[in-house]
């Protein structure tokens, strides 16, 4: 992404999942490039802290939206809140699975909420916002997928399904919108050192080790938007994708499950949620 991001994309960026980790760091990088920021997550206090930091460091305008994406009316409330703004850049970061448990060990509602947050809300936001970008002939959209979306594994069945959706949706959008001046990029992440991953690992008595730093993800996001539909982030993901592509699916599923169990451990430690 060039320094003239405001000219290339428009005045405002909407970062969904901006209270910490990748979303907060991305918001900072976009503010440094002159974009005003709409910051969305559930925790108002954390959003306020991020917004204050952006205003102080970069002198940009900010707006915060404390909205839970699993609520039925989430997309409608977001669209109403940004109706008067020219959203030229949309990043949908929120999407991790806080549980990492077998599908049948969780209430069906947990999977349905994840599907709403990771797929349905995404469609409901992208349709009108990308539509306006296409009319203006400029815009940028950044989506997040996961290695769990490349192959099925125990403990990530529903999550991985939503991430496969995000990947394929993003690639299709790229093909449709590139000729209309709108850049779309889907980043496919492996283990990334975010607060959410740290919390999940801590629950399982594990520490984050060897994960991709958040700064590397942000760097890829800025550098790769406008240069193709998809980017595997980190050497491990790029090698993993190639290996998975040549294996029979039965081998790929078994191998990925073994590797995932090795990094995530057997299960939550006693006393954790
Ligand atoms: N970290 C990894 O190892 C990893 C690996 C592969 C893919 N990814 C992908 O990378 C993206 C970012 O992941 P992450 O690890 O940073 O964790 P995450 O929980 O997806 O993202 C954190 C941000 O999303 C917000 N958020 C989460 N659920 C929300 C909800 N229901 N409504 C509104 N906001 C919500 C959080 O703020 P609040 O808590 O304040 O709401 C926070 O700002 C996700 O799409 C994930 O699938 C991550």
Measured over the CA atoms of residue 258, residue 260, residue 264 and residue 266, the dihedral's sign is negative
Contacts 24+ apart (CB under 8 A), 243-247: 244/150, 244/151
- pLDDT, residue 273, reads 36
Averaged over 123-144, what is the pLDDT?
98
* 85 SS3 class: coil
- pLDDT, residue 269, reads 60
Nearest to 27 by CA among 4, 52, 7: 52
Q: Does 163 participate in catalysis according to the annotation?
A: yes
- pLDDT, residue 107, reads 98
Eight-class DSSP state of 223: H
pLDDT at residue 272 tops 90? no
Looking at ligand 1, which atom is closest to the CA of residue 191? Answer: 3
pLDDT at residue 9 tops 80? yes
Query: What confidence tier does 241 reach under pLDDT thresholds 50, 70, 90?
Result: very high
pTM exceeds 0.85, yes or no: yes
C-alpha distances in angstroms, 24 versus 186, 208, 217, 242?
18, 19, 12, 31
- pLDDT, residue 6, reads 77
Sheet (strand 36-41) strand order: 62-66, 36-41, 12-16, 87-92, 139-146, 182-189, 230-233
Q: Does 270 participate in catalysis according to the annotation?
A: no
User: How far is the C-alpha of 148 from the C-alpha of 152, rounded, in Å?
Assistant: 7
User: How far is the C-alpha of 178 from the C-alpha of 247, rounded, in Å?
Assistant: 32
How many degrees, rounded to 5, is the angle at CA 150 between CA 264 and CA 125? Answer: 100
Query: What confidence tier does 57 reach under pLDDT thresholds 50, 70, 90?
Result: very high
- pLDDT, residue 115, reads 98
Q: What is the pLDDT of residues 189-219, one digit of tens each?
A: 999 999 999 999 999 999 999 999 999 999 9
pLDDT at residue 271 tops 60? no
User: How far is the C-alpha of 256 from the C-alpha of 240, rounded, in Å?
Assistant: 9
- pLDDT, residue 217, reads 98
Eight-class DSSP state of 103: G
> Which residues line ligand 1 at a C-beta cut-off of 6 Å?
17-23, 41-43, 46, 68-70, 93-96, 117, 144, 146, 163, 189, 191-192, 194, 196-197
- pLDDT, residue 268, reads 73
Q: Residue 189 pairs with which residues in a beta bridge?
A: 146, 233
The mean pLDDT value of the chain amounts to 95
User: How far is the C-alpha of 241 from the C-alpha of 187, rounded, in Å?
Assistant: 13
Averaged over 142-157, what is the pLDDT?
98
pLDDT at residue 130 tops 60? yes
The alpha carbon of residue 227 and the mean position of all alpha carbons in its chain are separated, in whole angstroms, by 18
pLDDT at residue 64 tops 70? yes
- pLDDT, residue 67, reads 98
Averaged over 148-169, what is the pLDDT?
98
Q: How far is the CA of 171 from the centre of ligand 1 (A)?
A: 21
| pLDDT, greater one: 7 or 67 | 67
């Amino acid at each position: 992404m060039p320094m003239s991001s405001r000219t290339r994309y428009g005045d405002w960026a909407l970062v969904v999942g901006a209270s910490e980790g990748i979303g907060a760091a991305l918001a900072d990088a976009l503010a440094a490039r002159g974009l005003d920021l709409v910051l969305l997550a559930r925790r108002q206090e954390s959003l306020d802290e991020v917004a204050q930091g952006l205003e102080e460091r970069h002198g940009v305008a900010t707006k915060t939206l404390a909205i839970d994406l699993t609520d039925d009316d989430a997309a409608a409330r977001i669209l109403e809140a940004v109706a008067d703004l020219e959203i030229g850049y949309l990043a949908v970061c929120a999407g991790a699975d806080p549980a990492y448990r077998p599908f049948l060990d969780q209430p069906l509602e947990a999977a349905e909420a994840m599907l709403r947050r990771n797929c349905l809300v995404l469609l409901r936001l992208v349709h009108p916002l990308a539509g306006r970008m296409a009319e203006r002939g400029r815009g940028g959209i950044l989506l997040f997928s996961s290695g769990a979306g490349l192959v099925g594994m125990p403990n990530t069945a529903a999550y991985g399904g939503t991430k496969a959706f995000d990947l394929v949706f993003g690639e299709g959008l790229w093909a449709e919108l590139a000729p209309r001046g709108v850049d779309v990029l889907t980043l496919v992440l492996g283990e990334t050192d975010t607060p959410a991953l740290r919390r999940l690992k801590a629950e399982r008595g594990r520490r984050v080790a060897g994960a991709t730093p958040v700064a590397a993800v942000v760097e890829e996001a800025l550098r790769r938007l406008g240069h193709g539909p998809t980017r595997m982030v980190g050497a491990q993901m790029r090698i993993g994708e190639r290996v998975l592509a040549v294996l029979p699916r039965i081998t790929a599923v078994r191998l990925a499950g073994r590797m995932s169990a090795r990094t995530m451990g057997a299960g939550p430690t006693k006393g954790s949620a």
